[in-house]
Structure 1
């Protein structure tokens, strides 16, 4: 019985509160939001409370649904007495932003990613304080979010009631996230205090699935914009600050309950709204050179007055067909300035509508390319044009310029309805809470990548290289190493807690330890390579660098699984003697669980008919940008 089931059981006996509070947390690249709902009341979307008050003097209004994902440390800002976060970070402070993207350094850039991401650390944005890791910075930030969430809930139910009420935290993560990045997110949340109280738990849910839960729930209970019907194919395009995630769902039923499943393998890229910001920086650098490049980040980076003013322009762009001129104040000295681009007297950068289109279009085109590819994949899977609705979610989904591009691309040509939830920024955090409240989820998912391990097989003359051959010390047979044994294939359908059993054997001697290490590999390409070292693969565990903007689709190491069989009865295994001494043939099975409620890969080792010892994974820490 799991600890969560135990809490439920004790609750039914009246020994602990039977109700819980479900908390959705959307930690984003640029902004973070949260919601909560009690299981005591009606299990309804309308009962979810969106946290709409966040601390700090730089917020525009008293009611705001998200807070900036940035933190400023006292050591960098002597004028403050403690670390500042969110809206507490004032323009001019040295702060750390976009840190979420650094949690996924293990994933190489793809053709759908923002090519300038590789260079962003050079601009000082994707930057870490000396002596701190990305997990350290994220946990420092999330610790402040955690305290604010508890404070917000306590206002509603009192501190005393909160202290005895279990909390379920549902963290949203990009569906394109690597397993290492998901684990890093969970680790950062735990270090921040989430799940630290007795009875509290942390779960993960993909951002597009959370968006789908909220959007589909709304569109099946509210006919505005046309209700979703059984048989509809609904493409969710979650456009956030750092990532864009696209998943297509087939609606199977709407009454008496909503039932839907993933239609085809989702895709995505690191091409969110921060890519628009990076394009702005590139335009400024091209036009003003060192005058702009040499400015300290506090004058031009996230949270600066320059970028706060650009955020207003970015949100509003596309609301009018009128050609306009925009002004961005910045204290910059430009030699012999072009008056079309810079007002030297007023210290204003002058931006034209054409400039904004040049900044937006590369990012919008990347997103449209992702959607078109997903539509092709959906047709291939269903045998027909099944997608009849696109739902835009996420902060960037609120961009009128992006929405209009979608309408022109998909409504005018394919008659696909493009809709946006009434509050696209809140959809994800509402869906996360609904997942915990109602258990709503996709009944089946499509695996995003191949997963497997390396095995040895009998040597094949004329096929295998002698370089990879070896003699098995137990059987005496000639074998070949480096062959991939794929556990689950990309695109394979699976449901919650789908498990795969992988048989292993190891030759063991008395003077060896009984801890065994097996590397788990993944591959994002549609092709599943036969060998771990197929061209384009990176089978080793630790990579210190890689070429810029390389699109890698080979085999990559996810991490090293440690199976500790100390204490098993060696007398139950076959053995033989050779020139060295006794050698045992130890056989066991590795159980790999996909779709676990915790949101992470889970492992168990079955040896001699029972779960044996402990099984853990050490994720690889490669760096790709």
Structure 2
């Protein structure tokens, strides 16, 4: 993002004053590509955002590229290489792993807007993992290479010595539709990869949603140009972040443009796993339907991500929409087909032939899902405000640069609803730039909307004539007849909250060894159910609580089955929207913290 500065940013600082300023780094780890940028807080936070535009590897098409492929190859699986290869270092024919980001959120149920072919994608060698490694392991290995490259790039600018004494704030972007488990997994992978390592104790990791990062970049531009078509106070701006794996839709209301930009999330955003990789899956499905085993049994080096075949398809995909001619598209593929249809395959030249209708069929299946997401968001925004509040839709992300997608948006919204459709100069860089500006200038949405309901399973005293006997039990500590499986929701889907918002709940905890646990639940339905046994409630994870800072003798106790059971009156505090990007917990008794409270996303058993 250009600020028309006369001089480049000054990153130098005296080693005797190592904390006088920071470097802010934005990292956009995407399903298909990863980008990064950085800036310095020196000069009162007015430095330019510098995009990293050189990434290693012989397979890149030019010296200047803003992003590198999100893929990695391991030497133990490929005899041609030793160690690891990543990004553009991965060449056709290497056994590599792609789209791993989507596996971080594999436990989130598919929605009606998701790509239904997602679960079948492993059949073409993507969304797979090496033997003995988890998704977090693979993402860690990849991000470790990204981290080393970022640090090397910054060191070239400011010197190794200056870098060693300059704190860095890393702002990772994550899909707004991401589950809490996926956000925590992203943070865990980043820490294991070296970001904010103990060796650099002043470095920190923060997280920001991808649409909010894009909104920061876009709104700063469109509220400060002051010309025709600028965004004004009271305008609603819909950010449509179309990435490789996910699509995020969020609408922001501009509350103030001068002297400083202020905006808030207008209504609950939506999204789905229906990014541009869904077009690749539609393409693979078409190839399989047309050529059967001839295509299905081809080695991955000929047809997988990074192959010459898919590189050619990527060029066709990016250019599609710029011309309305009935062009035939040819993709070289060394494949033997018995009795091929000449309209689909040139056997002599070994060329796969695609028509414009073929491309349109692949695109429309994905574009229609995105348009439906946007229509739903427009409806929700109108219901929230009672007026047609959205005046502009801004397309960002790699797929946001698609001309075919832009034309579809113009036809659906600009020509009918008079909503302006705009695409930033570099939609792929907008998210990274916004992440850096978040850390650099503190720009952020003043309030957000909770994406889902959160709460706990609760018990209360039995009410004769109201509650059913089948829902009842005798409490093991008090002996009182209780009703089980009632949901107590702490925060509802659509509720407004600001950064660091905390919800508290008072409870009685029963423990036998100074430890207790309880399960946190979520619900994506518009209206959360009153009981756990209704449909729509999902376990988020188990909160494990230790009472190491509190003498258990202060609590009431009884002997149960030969063991001492304590009853503790406590308050659980849950922090939503922390800058760290993960749920935070705290347990207090009589206003004093009694120990640790951490969530385990891999254990969903209800605490007994």
Q: What is the TM-score with the length of structure 2 in the denominator?
A: 0.94
CA 1:325–1:498 in 2, change beyond 3 Å: closer, same or farther? Answer: same
Deviations 1:532-587 (A, max 9, x none): 121x3xxxxxxxxxxxxxxxxx1111000011013523343345689979754311
CA 1:82–1:225 in 2, change beyond 3 Å: closer, same or farther? Answer: farther
Q: Distance in 1 between matches of 2:59 and 2:163?
A: 30
Deviation at 1:465, TM superposition (A): 3.4
CA 1:182–1:588 in 2, change beyond 3 Å: closer, same or farther? Answer: same
Deviations 1:231-277 (A, max 9, x none): 00000000000000000000001111110000000000000000000
Kindly indicate whether the alpha-carbon contact (under 8 Å) linking 1:473 and 1:507 is maintained by their aligned counterparts in 2. Answer: no
Q: Distance in 2 between matches of 1:313 and 1:275?
A: 15
Kindly indicate whether the alpha-carbon contact (under 8 Å) linking 2:211 and 2:431 is maintained by their aligned counterparts in 1. Answer: yes
2:464 corresponds to 1:461 = yes
Kindly indicate whether the alpha-carbon contact (under 8 Å) linking 2:15 and 2:165 is maintained by their aligned counterparts in 1. Answer: no
Q: Distance in 1 between matches of 2:282 and 2:227?
A: 36
CA 1:440–1:340 in 2, change beyond 3 Å: closer, same or farther? Answer: same
Deviation at 1:218, TM superposition (A): 1.2
Kindly indicate whether the alpha-carbon contact (under 8 Å) linking 1:22 and 1:170 is maintained by their aligned counterparts in 2. Answer: yes
Pick from 303, 311, 314: which aligns with 1:311?
Answer: 314
Paired residue secondary structure (1:604): strand
Equivalent residue, structure 2, for 1:198 = 201
2:573 corresponds to 1:591 = yes
Q: Distance in 1 between matches of 2:533 and 2:382?
A: 33
Equivalent residue, structure 2, for 1:420 = 423
Pick from 16, 19, 28: which aligns with 1:17?
Answer: 19
Paired residue secondary structure (2:60): coil
Equivalent residue, structure 1, for 2:142 = 141
Deviation at 1:597, TM superposition (A): 1.1
Deviations 1:5-50 (A, max 9, x none): xxxxxx9997533100000000000000000001013534x70000
The aligned runs of 1:374-413 (5 Å cut-off) are: 374-413=377-416
Equivalent residue, structure 2, for 1:560 = 542
Deviation at 1:475, TM superposition (A): 3.5
Paired residue secondary structure (1:422): coil
Equivalent residue, structure 2, for 1:526 = 526
Q: What is the TM-score with the length of structure 1 in the denominator?
A: 0.92
Q: Distance in 2 between matches of 1:114 and 1:93?
A: 27
Q: Distance in 1 between matches of 2:163 and 2:587?
A: 38
2:314 corresponds to 1:325 = no
Equivalent residue, structure 2, for 1:35 = 37
Deviation at 1:463, TM superposition (A): 4.2
Kindly indicate whether the alpha-carbon contact (under 8 Å) linking 1:500 and 1:591 is maintained by their aligned counterparts in 2. Answer: yes
Unaligned runs of 5+ in 1: 1-10, 537-553
Q: Distance in 2 between matches of 1:272 and 1:106?
A: 18
Paired residue secondary structure (1:168): strand
Equivalent residue, structure 1, for 2:252 = 249
CA 1:49–1:579 in 2, change beyond 3 Å: closer, same or farther? Answer: closer
Q: Distance in 2 between matches of 1:319 and 1:13?
A: 53
Paired residue secondary structure (2:117): helix
After the TM superposition, which of the residue ranges 467-476 and 489-498 deviates more from structure 2? Answer: 467-476
Deviations 1:470-519 (A, max 9, x none): 112443321011111101000000001111111121344xxx21111010
> Does 1 or 2 have the higher relative contact order (CA < 8 Å, sep 6+)?
1
Kindly indicate whether the alpha-carbon contact (under 8 Å) linking 1:378 and 1:386 is maintained by their aligned counterparts in 2. Answer: yes
Q: Distance in 2 between matches of 1:54 and 1:224?
A: 37
Pick from 282, 285, 309: which aligns with 2:285?
Answer: 282
2:102 corresponds to 1:101 = yes
Paired residue secondary structure (1:425): coil
Q: Distance in 1 between matches of 2:151 and 2:557?
A: 58
Taking only aligned residues, the RMSD between alpha carbons, in angstroms, comes to 1.8
After the TM superposition, which of the residue ranges 471-480 and 512-521 deviates more from structure 2? Answer: 471-480
Paired residue secondary structure (1:368): helix
Q: Distance in 1 between matches of 2:564 and 2:311?
A: 71
CA 1:474–1:62 in 2, change beyond 3 Å: closer, same or farther? Answer: same
